[in-house]
Structure 1
Amino acid sequence: MAAKTTILDMNRFDGANLDTLDAHKRSLIERRTALGNGYRLFYRDPIEIVRGVGSHVFDEHGTDYLDAYNNVVSVGHCHPHVVEAVSRQASLLNTHTRYLHETILDYSEALLAKLPAQIDRITYQCTGSEANDLAIRIARNYTGGQGIIVTREAYHGNTDLISGFSPSIGMGQELSPSCGLLPTPDTHIHGDEAIGDYIVAKLKERIVAMRADGIKFAGLLVDSIFSSDGIFPGKAGWLRKVADAVHEEGGLYIADEVQPGFCRTGEAFWGFARHGFVPDIVTMGKPMANGIACSATAVRHEILDAFTAKIPYFNTFAGNPVAMAAAKATLEVMDDEDLMGNANRIGSMFVSQLEGLAVDHPAIADVRGAGLYIGVEFDDPATGDPLSVETLELIEQMRRRHVLTSNCGSYGNILKIRTPLVFSAADVDRYMTALQDSLAAIGI
């Protein structure tokens, strides 16, 4: 079986290939030495991206690449409504939240209207990492516990606190002593019907083990599409019994909506909303301002009040007028262009075509997704072992055909399709053509 890999090392450029690149790219990569060794590039032949529009990006030669990976620009690269809002606000003022400003209030009211009524307070940060960091602090304060449970391949951020609850970073990152791990909710193995009971049983086992170690359970932190674990949305509704179990055990449910939120699943505005329950804390990030650094932690008021009664919260750059203008414009585009409906329609079409392709390609072991977040699992049809090397080669072949996608899961054998929400039927056709040609090229 293939070795496990980490989220940041999947599909990475290997410096040993430097001599195979042209002089311009070699120069750019050598200049990146100033950034340190922690940064990663995609692909054996990295791409220099200089322009984007909608679901397409262009390199320095003007070559058009289909972007089937980028959820940061949720409403598409350089959407004119967002660009205009950012430009207008940047020309007027950008400052912090210690002064009155109307834009943050307009946006907060609009965003809270998208959330369940019980979640009636919102605080702003700049990154999803910061949002999840704050969420854990709030949960610990409210419950008096320390123990936070996540899934085995979760990624929730890279602050000192939250990286201790992000096992997908790899073995070099030590997990927090108060971190409990749940198995990946693998619907391919356990099935859609059994997955809820399976995870509830594992959750209770983990809480018992924590208590035996003297750690009080504070909460469960999960991304409802389980993106780093391998994209396991499951049948709508199964997570509700998990949320019920969390509350029965005295913990809080923290919904990390950085990946599944903001129309992504097509079936609901939030990933958790597919499952018909109300979490205690909701965190969000990347897609909310279409590329401008912005994140948020939304909370039931009684939970937030218990925290702020002890600790005032202020973040200099969070909630600044430019970020709020970008976020407000992004939300307006989502509504005005019915991007949730588009995610549902185009995502269903996409899954249907992938399932059709699987009929002739037995290495495609499973196709699963919700809206425009889709995973395609590649396993050896004879042994069931993950086809990690082949999936990585498939991604490189797609890149040669000017389609950008990536991989995920414990062994990197799951094709990760996470497009801008403006993806079209023509984009699906282009992706499928490149995928079929790439599968033929590597012979699986």
Structure 2
Amino acid sequence: MNAVVYGYLNIDGNNSDENQLKITKEAFAVIKNKKVEELEKTTNIKLNETKTTLIEKRNLFLGSKCQTFYTSDPFVVSRAFMQYIFDEQGNRFLDCISNVQHVGHCHPHVVQAIATQSSLSTCNIRFVCPLLGECSKALINTLHPSLNTIFYCNSGSEANDLALQLARDWTGGNDAIVLENAYHGHITTAAQLSPYKSEHGANIKKPEWVHIAPTPDVYRGKYRLLDEELNSPESLQNVGELYSKDVCLLIEELNKNGRKIAAFFAEALQSCGGQIIPPPGYFQSVAKAIHDNGGLVVVDEVQTGFGRVGDTFWAHQLFGHGEEEFIPDIITMGKPMGNGYPVSAVVTRREIADKLCGNAEYFNTYGGNPVACAASLAVLQIIEKEHLLKHSKQMGILFKQKLEILKSKHFCIGDIRGVGMFWGLDLVKCRKTREPANNLAKKLILKLRKEYGILLNADGPFGNVLKFKPPLCFNSDNLENVIKALDECLNELKEKEN
């Protein structure tokens, strides 16, 4: 859209970031098809129905399993733009958790791309659409040259299901190794690959073909480092070898029992598992063991790809360069890919792709449809033109600095870990024992929303890790406000406890 000036909308009008680009009010007005004066009046949109009525209607028609954020007081959204969400009264909240709206809620360029293509055609992938090739080329160019073939789906769950089928068809094996606390989706096979689901009481249990390896969590996993070792390259390398040996032991057990490995599945960085950063060398060692036994390595980038980590476009690219480069056989992607529009993909090598389904074809009714491709291509264009990798990297440096200072002031913060705009605060009752403080996490989340207009969430096996995965337009002023709010909340809660 010609009228758009790429960058971020500064709703406050007081952003001090010198390097931050801005979307002009005129550009936003084009999207809304209104004059700027009219646009400003829409900031506080109020809904016609009361919050109570909206919640009652939701509960009436949706099952009890469809949970909301803030279950005791669900959040009603009237509208959202860039890093902000507005409730039913028009109150503005800073969004620190919506990693799906990757380049910002309702980013004008994505909105325009979806609207334009929707008015032209919505045909399925059996028809030839120019956007399909253009989007595919742009995606493939972000990956290692060997990863040259793409399949489109509609969700991360679908993508991981297809990845398993690809691995089985290529290897002739059936079994998969996954990590503790892993989450790969909700459809049957993806849920079976997800200990995170079974550990939360899901009816779908682990089948005999799924084997669980310890998550390479250096803070509270099977092999823990001391606090003073957490930033030691040598210690991290050593513990990575220990975790990779556990995968080797699983493979030996599989072979002894006459089973054949098809794939090792892992999120590049675990999110639901507590914002876990694997130690250096881990993935390379595991990949060698898997390949030596005829299996494939599948990396789930559904929550971590598209520049979130800052240094690289994909999180798996953080782990090694040159001869030490870690190159998966299959990569799955989703959530941020369409900035809220449902689209996902699986990328692999051509020879693996050609084995899929035997002599049958692969077809996905909506996968790779022109509107999905338009949304995905718009996201890729924004990432490039707004320099979001650079921005995410700079924000990652700030996150580390600010969170380190916060940790030094509050002993309930046991560990901080992350990269780019992917961070976790591990809250503890005692730094020595590392006992998780999940109740503190709950109190903080509610207090931040109610008193500071900040939306944050917690996860991990104990529900004690505060997760930061904001839209990439999240800026230094936003971070400053969040740190200040956390500091004040922790001080106040400590005073009440005393």
How far is 1:384 from its partner? 2.3
Report the counterpart of residue 61 of structure 2 in structure 1.
34
1:302-350 CA distance string (max 9 Å, x none): 1111125433110101111111001001100001111111111112101
| Distance (whole Å) between structure 2 residues aligned to residue 51 and residue 237 of structure 1 | 44
1:118-140 CA distance string (max 9 Å, x none): 01100100000000000001101
Any idea what SS the aligned residue of 1:149 has? strand
Any idea what SS the aligned residue of 1:379 has? strand
Matched, 1:58 2:107: no
Contact 1:89–1:325 at 8 Å: present in 2 too?
A: yes
Matched, 1:171 2:222: no
TM-score by length of 1: 0.92
Any idea what SS the aligned residue of 1:171 has? coil
Any idea what SS the aligned residue of 2:50 has? helix
How far is 1:237 from its partner? 4.9
1:15-44 CA distance string (max 9 Å, x none): xxxxxxxx9333222212211111001112
How far is 1:58 from its partner? 0.8
Report the counterpart of residue 97 of structure 1 in structure 2.
125
Contact 2:237–2:281 at 8 Å: present in 1 too?
A: no
Whichever residue aligns with residue 309 of structure 2, its letter is: T
Report the counterpart of residue 319 of structure 1 in structure 2.
368
Report the counterpart of residue 280 of structure 1 in structure 2.
329
| Distance (whole Å) between structure 2 residues aligned to residue 82 and residue 149 of structure 1 | 37
Any idea what SS the aligned residue of 2:397 has? helix
Contact 1:146–1:178 at 8 Å: present in 2 too?
A: yes
Any idea what SS the aligned residue of 1:119 has? coil
Query: 471, 476, 481: which is aligned to 1:425?
Result: 476
Report the counterpart of residue 168 of structure 2 in structure 1.
140
How far is 1:245 from its partner? 2.2
Pairing 1:198-277 to 2, within 5 Å after superposition: 198-235=242-279, 237-275=281-319, 276-277=325-326
Contact 2:343–2:372 at 8 Å: present in 1 too?
A: yes
Query: 138, 143, 152: which is aligned to 1:124?
Result: 152
State which drifts further: 204-213 or 335-344: 204-213
CA RMSD of aligned residues (A): 1.5
Report the counterpart of residue 28 of structure 2 in structure 1.
none
TM-score by length of 2: 0.82
| Distance (whole Å) between structure 2 residues aligned to residue 304 and residue 322 of structure 1 | 24
| Distance (whole Å) between structure 1 residues aligned to residue 289 and residue 276 of structure 2 | 20
How far is 1:236 from its partner? 5.1
Any idea what SS the aligned residue of 2:78 has? strand
How far is 1:195 from its partner? 3.2
Pairing 1:292-441 to 2, within 5 Å after superposition: 292-381=341-430, 383-400=433-450, 401-441=452-492
Query: 137, 146, 167: which is aligned to 1:109?
Result: 137
Contact 2:169–2:357 at 8 Å: present in 1 too?
A: no
Contact 1:372–1:419 at 8 Å: present in 2 too?
A: yes
Q: Judging changes above 3 Å, is the alpha-carbon distance between structure 1 residues 214 and 37 closer, same or farther for their aligned structure 2 residues?
A: farther
State which drifts further: 410-419 or 166-175: 166-175
Contact 1:224–1:256 at 8 Å: present in 2 too?
A: yes
Any idea what SS the aligned residue of 2:85 has? strand
Report the counterpart of residue 38 of structure 2 in structure 1.
none
How far is 1:208 from its partner? 2.1
How far is 1:394 from its partner? 1.2
Contact 1:139–1:218 at 8 Å: present in 2 too?
A: yes
State which drifts further: 282-291 or 204-213: 204-213
How far is 1:239 from its partner? 2.2
Pairing 1:175-190 to 2, within 5 Å after superposition: 175-188=206-219, 189-190=224-225
Report the counterpart of residue 8 of structure 1 in structure 2.
none
Any idea what SS the aligned residue of 1:61 has? coil
> Between Structure 1 and Structure 2, how many residues are aligned?
422
Q: Judging changes above 3 Å, is the alpha-carbon distance between structure 1 residues 257 and 417 closer, same or farther for their aligned structure 2 residues?
A: same
Report the counterpart of residue 30 of structure 2 in structure 1.
none
How far is 1:53 from its partner? 1.3
Contact 2:244–2:282 at 8 Å: present in 1 too?
A: no
Report the counterpart of residue 72 of structure 1 in structure 2.
100
| Distance (whole Å) between structure 2 residues aligned to residue 355 and residue 256 of structure 1 | 29
Any idea what SS the aligned residue of 2:135 has? helix
How far is 1:143 from its partner? 0.9
How far is 1:213 from its partner? 3.6
Higher RCO (Cα < 8 Å, 6 or more apart): 1
Segments of 5+ residues of structure 1 without an aligned counterpart are 1-22
Contact 1:186–1:195 at 8 Å: present in 2 too?
A: no
Q: Judging changes above 3 Å, is the alpha-carbon distance between structure 1 residues 182 and 235 closer, same or farther for their aligned structure 2 residues?
A: closer
Contact 1:151–1:229 at 8 Å: present in 2 too?
A: no
Any idea what SS the aligned residue of 1:193 has? helix
Whichever residue aligns with residue 161 of structure 1, its letter is: T
| Distance (whole Å) between structure 2 residues aligned to residue 31 and residue 214 of structure 1 | 53
Contact 1:233–1:369 at 8 Å: present in 2 too?
A: yes
How far is 1:76 from its partner? 0.5
Contact 2:218–2:279 at 8 Å: present in 1 too?
A: no
Identity %: 36
Any idea what SS the aligned residue of 1:155 has? coil
Segments of 5+ residues of structure 2 without an aligned counterpart are 1-48, 231-235, 320-324
How far is 1:106 from its partner? 0.6
State which drifts further: 323-332 or 248-257: 248-257
Any idea what SS the aligned residue of 2:436 has? coil
